[in-house]
Structure 1
Amino acid sequence: MTSEASALTDSDGAATRARLAALADRMLAAVRPYASPGHGRITLPGPEGGYGRAVDGLEGFVRTFLLAGFRLAGERGADPAHLAEFYARGLATGVDGAAPDRWVRMSEHGQAKVEAASLALVLDMTRPWIWDRLDALTQERLVEYLAECVGDTTYPRNNWVWFRIVVQTFLRSVGGPWSADDVADDLASHDAWFHADGWYADGDERAFDHYVGWAMHLYPALWARMQGAADLAAPRRQKDHERLDRFLQDAVTLVGADGSPLLQGRSLVYRFAAAAPFWVGALDEVPSLSPGLLRTAGASVVEHFTARGVPGDDGLLTTGWHGVWRPLAQLYSGTGSPYWASKGLLGLALPADHPVWTAPAEPLPVQAGDVLRAVAAPGWVVSGTRSDGVVRVVNHGTDHARVGDRTGDSPLYARLGYSTATSPWLDAASWTAPADGSVTLVGTRGEHDGEPTHRTGMTLLGAEVVDGVGVAASRAVAHWLVPDAAQVHHGSGRHGVATDAGTLTVVSLVRGAWEVRLARVDALADGVAPTDVRLRVSGWPVVDGDGPEGDGDRLDSRVEPLTAADGTKTGTDERVDAVPLGTPGSVSRAPWAETDVLPGTWFAAAVGLGRDLPARPVLVLDGDAAVVTWPDGTTTRSALPA
C-alpha cells in the first residue's frame, strides 16, 4: 500500500496530467470502432441496457463526447486525434431525422434529457472548435433537438433539474428558445434539497451519495461558466462556491489511501466519476483545500481503477467496479452508461499551467493520519485509519427514503456501515433480507420465521464527535416486508406491504477500526412477543482469502458481544459472488451476534473492520452512559438516549 499511495500522490503534477491524458486518449480511441457509419451512435459491446440499443448508442456517443470536450478545452483546441472532426460528424448525423443512426429525442425517451445536458456543456466548452464550425443546418437542427426541454414538466425532481437548466442556458446563448420560469423553478428545487455543511440530497428523499459531488456541485460550477449564464448565476455564485468548499472538506476524507471511493449509493458503475468534485473544486478555486490536495484526491480515485485493470485490455469500460459485475447496474444502466466516468477526468479541461497541475502534492487525510469526523446531513461518522488506509462510514441517517416510510432497506443506502475496502452484499436476497451491516429483529416462528426486519424510515438522533469518539444514533420502527411483484430498480429499497415488529434504538460509538454498537428494543409491536424474535447485530462482509483487491492484505471483520445476555450466540453468514470485489465467484463472509430480546435493555457488540485489528474495546454500562476503554487505552464516556 505504501508504494501505491506514493505513486498516487505524485509530486510531479505534469506527470500525473500526462497519465490521465493518456488514459483519456486510450478510452476515446477504443470506442471509435463501435461508432455507427455516421458517428451518431457509439454502441459498445455487452448486454442491451434496460432502455434499449438506441439509448445505449446515444449514451456511448454523448458520454465519450464529454471526455473529448475536456481534452479539447484543456489543450486550448489542439487536436492531434481529430476529435472535433469525429464528433462534429456525429452531431450532424444525430440531429438528422432521416439518418438511420439519429439520436433518440427527448420526446421519445427521457434518457435523452440526461444526454442533452452533456451535449450542451461540451458545445459551450468547445464553442470555437466545434459549434462555431458546424454548418448552419446542423446548428439549426441541434437547437430544435435541444429545445424540446423548454416547458417540459416531466423532468424528475432530483439532479435532473440541472439537465434542463444547462440545456436552456446553451439555447439562450445561441439565440434559441428558453424559459426564465423553467430555470428559476429548477434552481429553487435544487436549493430546497440543501441540508447542511455543503450537502444536498438528490431530491426530497434522504438520498446522500456520489450524486452530491458529481451532479449537485458539478453542474452549478460548470453552468456558471457557460455563455448565457452570467446574469443568471451571479446572484448565487458566492453561495454555491461556499457550499462546494464546505462539502469538499468532508468529501476528501471519504477517499481511501488506495484511492478507492466509498462503495455506497447507486450508479457505482460510473466508477471514477467520483473524482469529479475534486476537479470542480480546483476549477472553482475553493479556499479550504489546496490545488495539490485536490489533484491528489482526483488522480487517486481515477488511478485506483487503472491500477486494477480499468479500462480492460480493449480500452473499454464495462458494467462493474474493477471488472465486469452486472448486478451493480441499475435498470437504466446500458453499455454506454459507464462513460459518465468521463466526469472523473474533468481535470483535463484545466490546462497544463493551471495550479492543480503545478502545485506541490499533498497527501489525502487518511494518508496523513487517522480521521474521525461527523457529517451531519447524511448522519455519518467517518473513521479512517492510517495504518491500513481504510475509510469507514457508520450510517444513521441515509436510506433513500423519508422519515416514517415503511419500505425495504436498500443495500446501497440503508446499511449501518460502508467503506472504501468493502461492499455491502448486493445479491438478490440482500434486497429483501438484510444480513450484513445491520441491526435487525429476526423472526423465530410463524410466517416471519428466520426473516430479518428493515429499518428504512428511521429517525436520525444525531451524529457528532465528542471527546475523541464518534457518536451517532437512530431510532426505527423495525418492520418485515412483503415486496410488491413489480419494482423499479433505481437503487432505492423495495416497495411492498410492511408489518411492524418493534421499535429499535441503535447507537454507534466509533474510534479507529472499531465501533461499539448498542441496540435496544424499546417496545415490540402488538402481537409480537419477546420469544417471537431475536435481536441480531451483523458486521462487514469481506471477501474470503486475500483482501478484496487481491493483494494478500487480508481484511478482518469481527462482531464480538460486549454485554452478557441470555441466549447470546455468534456466527458467520456467507454468500457467493455477492459483491463486486475479488474475483468472479468469490465467497464473502459477514459475522454476526444475536441474543434474546429483553425490551428496554441494551445489547452491545464490538464491530470491527481493518487489517491487523487491535484488541477489541471494553464496555461498561453505567446508568444512562456507555464507558468504553479503547485499544489505545483511552477511556470515553458517552450518554445514551433515553
Structure 2
Amino acid sequence: MRAATRTGWSRADWAGTADAMLRSVRPFASPRHARITLPGPVGGYGTEVDGLEGFARTFLLAGFRIAGERGADPDNVAQFYAEGIAAGTDPTSPERWVRLDEHPQAKVEAASLALALDLTRPWLWDRLDPAVQDRVVAYLAPAVGDPTYPRINWVWFRLVVQAFLRSVGGPWSADDVAEDLATHDGFLREDGWMADGHERAFDHYVGWALHVYPLLWSRMPGAAGFAEARRERDTALLDRYLLDAVHLVGADGSPLVQGRSLTYRFAAAAPFWAGVLAEVPSTPPGVLRRAATGVVRHFVDRGALDERGLLSLGWHGRWPAIKQAYSGPGSPYWAVKGMLGLTLPADHPVWTADELPLPVERGDYVRAVRAPGWLVGGTAADGVVRVVNHGTDHAVTGDTKGDSPLYARYGYSTATSPLLDHDSWANPHDQAVVLVDAEGRTSHRSGMDVGVTEVVDVDGVTVGLGFSSGPVRWLEPDEAQQHHGSGWTGRHHDAGTVAVHSLVRGPWEVRLVRVDAVTEDHPPTALRLCGWAVAGADVVPTEGPCVQADDGTRSKLTVLLGQTTGSGVSRHEDAGPLGPVAAVPWAQLSVVPGEWSAALLELARDTAARSAEPEVRLDLDGPTTWVTTRWPDGARTRVALS
C-alpha cells in the first residue's frame, strides 16, 4: 500500500479520514447511541427522523470500515452501533426509531441499515442477541408489500431491505423483487445511463444510486436467484456509464455542480469504486481510484469537514441554502457512499497500483452524452469540465413547470454553480436564453423538445453540436413549493417559441438563437443571453460583458449576431455555494422572429492569449443552414445545423 502518485492519498489516508468522521459524530449520539442528532436546524421531517438519519448514514461508513478490515475494530465501532441497534429497534425505548410505516424517510434509512448489517454480518449481526435480531427483522418487515415506495431510485431501498430480510429468515416477497427490478429496468436509457424515474432526471443519482445499489445488492446473499442473470448486463452498463462519468470530473477533483442533493458532496465518488468492485474492463482501476480520491480530497481540502470534524449542509463549507425539503443535519452523511472503496482490504491491487490521469488531465476533449443531451468539454490548461445541456430539465416534453436551476440551465461545470437564490428559481439569470417582458420577468423552457448532441470532425478540428427548441413561458410561482429540486409550479403564460443550437469547442460555446414566434397578447420586449455565473469572495467586471472571480475563473459573453440593445454584468449576493458573490455577463437583443442571434460564451481559468476575433456567418444551401465560425484561437469550422 502506498500513497497515490497524483492525489497523494494512500488507503491509510482514506481510513484515517473515515475514522475521524466516525469519532466526530459520537458526542451527538443519544445515551444508548440509537440516534445521532447533529447540530443545526431541525430538518423538514422533524428531529426523530434527523436522529435516525444520523445513525443510519454514519453506520454505513462504519460498515465499510469494519468490512474492509475484516472485523479489526480498534475504535470499537461495531459495539457502539450494535448498542444503537438494540435501542433503536426496541419499541419501548425512548430512543426507538421512527418506523417504516410511520414516516417515508425511514424507508430510505432502512436500506443503509440493511446494507451495513449485511456487510458486517460475521462481526456484528451474528453477535447480536437473538431478541435484538428479531426486533431488527420486525423493524424492517413493513417494507414487504408496501406499495408506497416512489417509482424512482427508492425501489432499491425496498430491494436491499428485502434481500437482507430474506438472508436472515425474515419475510420477503418475490413479487416485490420482480416489480422493483422491472421498474429499475424501465429507467435505462442510452449508453448505460438511467433516468431517475420517467422524467428527464439525469444527475448524480445515476451513479451513486442507480449503479451503486445494483452492484451492492447483487452481492447480498438474499439476492440469490435474481442477481445471477443480471450481473453481466449490469456490469456492462456500469462499464459504459463510467466511460462518460470519468469525463465529468475536473482536474481539481470537483464533480459537476448539477442536480439535487448536492450536499451529499463526495457521494459522487461512489460509482468509481463500484467500477473497481465490479472489475469493469474499459476504465483502468488507476483511473477509477484517481477519480474517487480526487473527488473526496476536493471536499476535504476545502473545508467540507468543519472545526468539529462534521459535515454540515453545504458544498465546500457550510451553505444551508443548498438543502432540499428533505434535508436535515444528518443528510450530508450520505457523502459516505463515496468511501465505498474502504470495503476493499489493504492488499487489494487498487491500493498498490499507480493512479492514472483523468481524461481532463490527458488533453482537451468534447464528448456527446446522448441520454442527458449533454455536450461535455474538458480543457487540460485549466482542468475545467463544462457541460452544455440540451436534454435535461427534470421534466417531460410539454411540461409547463418553471426551470429548475439544478437541471434546466444550458450550462454546468466543475468551476461554477448555477444561481440558487429565490429570484433565480422564479426568473432564470445565468446560463439561459430568455425572453424578457415589460415587468422584467424572464422566460422558462422546461418541457422543451430535445434534439441531437453529436461530435463532428471538421478538417481536424473537433466540434460538439447540440440543439433544443420549444415553447417558453412566463411563470407566476405558487406560494408553496415542494423544494425537492425540480422546477417550481405555478400559473404559466405562453411567451413564444425559441430554438437554440450550440457549437462547443475548448472553453467556448457559440450559441445560436432563433425566436420563431412570440405571443401577441403579452409580447416580449427583449431577448436576453446569459453567460456562466462565476463566484468567489469577490468578482470583478472587466472589459465588455466579462467578469473574473478572485480564483481566476473568467466568464465572458460576446455578441456575434443580432441587434444588441444593452449588455453588462449582473451581481448576485449569497446565490450559490462557491462564494458570497456571483456575477453573470449578459447581453440583450431585439426580438426579431425568424432572425438568428448568436453569442460566444467562454469559461476559463487559463491565461492564454486569444489570437483572433471570433466571427460567425450563417448561409442557406437549400434546406440546410451552414455555420462558418472563426474561433478565438484562429481555427475555422463550417458545419451544418441539425
TM-score range, shorter chain: over 0.9
Identity %: 61
Return the alpha-carbon distance in structure 2 between the equivalents of residues 99 and 520 of structure 1.
Answer: 65
Return the alpha-carbon distance in structure 2 between the equivalents of residues 52 and 614 of structure 1.
Answer: 54
Residue in 1 that maps onto 2:413: 419
Residue in 2 that maps onto 1:554: 552
Return the alpha-carbon distance in structure 1 between the equivalents of residues 120 and 549 of structure 2.
Answer: 42
Return the alpha-carbon distance in structure 1 between the equivalents of residues 6 and 256 of structure 2.
Answer: 25
Matched, 1:105 2:106: no
Residue in 1 that maps onto 2:116: 122
Aligned-pair distance for 1:10? 2.6
Residue in 2 that maps onto 1:274: 268
Please tell me the residue identity of whatever aligns with 2:635.
T
Return the alpha-carbon distance in structure 1 between the equivalents of residues 609 and 549 of structure 2.
Answer: 21
Answer whether contact 2:534 2:549 (CA < 8 A) is retained.
Answer: no
Answer whether contact 1:8 1:303 (CA < 8 A) is retained.
Answer: no
Aligned-pair distance for 1:190? 0.6
SS in 2 for 1:197: helix
Return the alpha-carbon distance in structure 2 between the equivalents of residues 168 and 10 of structure 1.
Answer: 42
SS in 2 for 1:402: coil
Residue in 1 that maps onto 2:570: 573
Please tell me the residue identity of whatever aligns with 2:55.
F
Please tell me the residue identity of whatever aligns with 1:453.
S
Aligned-pair distance for 1:587? 1.7
Residue in 2 that maps onto 1:490: 484
Aligned-pair distance for 1:11? 5.8
Matched, 1:131 2:132: no
5+ residue gaps, structure 2, are 541-547
Scaled by the length of structure 1, the TM-score of the pair is 0.95
Residue in 2 that maps onto 1:213: 207
Matched, 1:73 2:67: yes
**Within 5 Å, which residues of 2 pair with 1:505-516?**
505-516=499-510
Answer whether contact 1:545 1:554 (CA < 8 A) is retained.
Answer: no
Return the alpha-carbon distance in structure 1 between the equivalents of residues 182 and 249 of structure 2.
Answer: 31
Instruction: Provide Cα deviations, 1:24-79, integer angstroms capped at 9, x if missing partner.
Output: 00000000011101110000001110011001100100000000000011111111
SS in 1 for 2:183: helix
SS in 1 for 2:22: helix
Answer whether contact 1:294 1:356 (CA < 8 A) is retained.
Answer: no
Return the alpha-carbon distance in structure 1 between the equivalents of residues 640 and 564 of structure 2.
Answer: 27
Residue in 1 that maps onto 2:351: 357
Answer whether contact 1:399 1:456 (CA < 8 A) is retained.
Answer: yes
Please tell me the residue identity of whatever aligns with 1:318.
S
Return the alpha-carbon distance in structure 1 between the equivalents of residues 375 and 425 of structure 2.
Answer: 24
Return the alpha-carbon distance in structure 1 between the equivalents of residues 601 and 549 of structure 2.
Answer: 24
Residue in 2 that maps onto 1:622: 619
Matched, 1:25 2:30: no
Residue in 2 that maps onto 1:3: none
**Within 5 Å, which residues of 2 pair with 1:275-424?**
275-424=269-418
Return the alpha-carbon distance in structure 1 between the equivalents of residues 551 and 101 of structure 2.
Answer: 51
**Within 5 Å, which residues of 2 pair with 1:391-540?**
391-444=385-438, 449-467=439-457, 468-529=462-523, 532-540=524-532
Return the alpha-carbon distance in structure 2 between the equivalents of residues 81 and 11 of structure 1.
Answer: 30
Please tell me the residue identity of whatever aligns with 1:198.
G
Distance 1:486 1:11, change over 3 A: closer
SS in 1 for 2:221: coil
Return the alpha-carbon distance in structure 1 between the equivalents of residues 456 and 74 of structure 2.
Answer: 56
Distance 1:318 1:12, change over 3 A: closer
Instruction: Provide Cα deviations, 1:549-588, integer angstroms capped at 9, x if missing partner.
Output: x99531110111001x334321111100101012xxx221
SS in 2 for 1:55: helix
Answer whether contact 2:162 2:222 (CA < 8 A) is retained.
Answer: no
Distance 1:320 1:12, change over 3 A: closer
Residue in 2 that maps onto 1:10: 5
Distance 1:176 1:547, change over 3 A: farther
Return the alpha-carbon distance in structure 2 between the equivalents of residues 547 and 116 of structure 1.
Answer: 44
SS in 2 for 1:397: coil
Scaled by the length of structure 2, the TM-score of the pair is 0.95
Report the number of matched residues. 623
Please tell me the residue identity of whatever aligns with 1:533.
T
Instruction: Provide Cα deviations, 1:517-555, integer angstroms capped at 9, x if missing partner.
Output: 0110111234344xx42111101111256689x995311
Please tell me the residue identity of whatever aligns with 2:532.
W
**Runs ≥4 in structure 1, deviation > 6 angstroms?**
none
Distance 1:568 1:395, change over 3 A: same
Please tell me the residue identity of whatever aligns with 1:134.
L
Matched, 1:258 2:252: yes
Aligned-pair distance for 1:193? 0.9
Instruction: Provide Cα deviations, 1:332-364, integer angstroms capped at 9, x if missing partner.
Output: 000110000110100001111112212221011
Aligned-pair distance for 1:484? 1.6
Aligned-pair distance for 1:459? 1.1
SS in 1 for 2:152: coil
Answer whether contact 2:59 2:116 (CA < 8 A) is retained.
Answer: yes
Answer whether contact 2:366 2:377 (CA < 8 A) is retained.
Answer: yes
Answer whether contact 2:536 2:578 (CA < 8 A) is retained.
Answer: no
Aligned-pair distance for 1:625? 1.2
SS in 2 for 1:231: coil
Aligned-pair distance for 1:312? 1.2
Distance 1:617 1:495, change over 3 A: same
Instruction: Provide Cα deviations, 1:269-294, integer angstroms capped at 9, x if missing partner.
Output: 00100000000000000001111111
Aligned-pair distance for 1:492? 0.3
Aligned-pair distance for 1:186? 0.6
Answer whether contact 1:16 1:299 (CA < 8 A) is retained.
Answer: no
Distance 1:275 1:544, change over 3 A: closer
Return the alpha-carbon distance in structure 2 between the equivalents of residues 261 and 425 of structure 1.
Answer: 17
Answer whether contact 1:574 1:588 (CA < 8 A) is retained.
Answer: yes
Return the alpha-carbon distance in structure 1 between the equivalents of residues 520 and 167 of structure 2.
Answer: 62
5+ residue gaps, structure 1, are 1-6
Please tell me the residue identity of whatever aligns with 1:455.
R
Aligned-pair distance for 1:629? 1.8
Aligned-pair distance for 1:111? 0.3
Residue in 1 that maps onto 2:544: none
Return the alpha-carbon distance in structure 2 between the equivalents of residues 32 and 567 of structure 1.
Answer: 59
Distance 1:547 1:255, change over 3 A: farther
Distance 1:8 1:381, change over 3 A: farther
Answer whether contact 1:8 1:296 (CA < 8 A) is retained.
Answer: no
1:96 equivalent among 90, 93, 102: 90
Please tell me the residue identity of whatever aligns with 2:361.
Q
Return the alpha-carbon distance in structure 1 between the equivalents of residues 16 and 5 of structure 2.
Answer: 16
Distance 1:317 1:547, change over 3 A: farther
Please tell me the residue identity of whatever aligns with 2:525.
V
SS in 2 for 1:604: strand
Aligned-pair distance for 1:371? 2.1
Distance 1:428 1:345, change over 3 A: same
Please tell me the residue identity of whatever aligns with 1:461.
G
Distance 1:284 1:266, change over 3 A: same
Return the alpha-carbon distance in structure 2 between the equivalents of residues 91 and 165 of structure 1.
Answer: 21
**Within 5 Å, which residues of 2 pair with 1:25-44?**
25-44=19-38
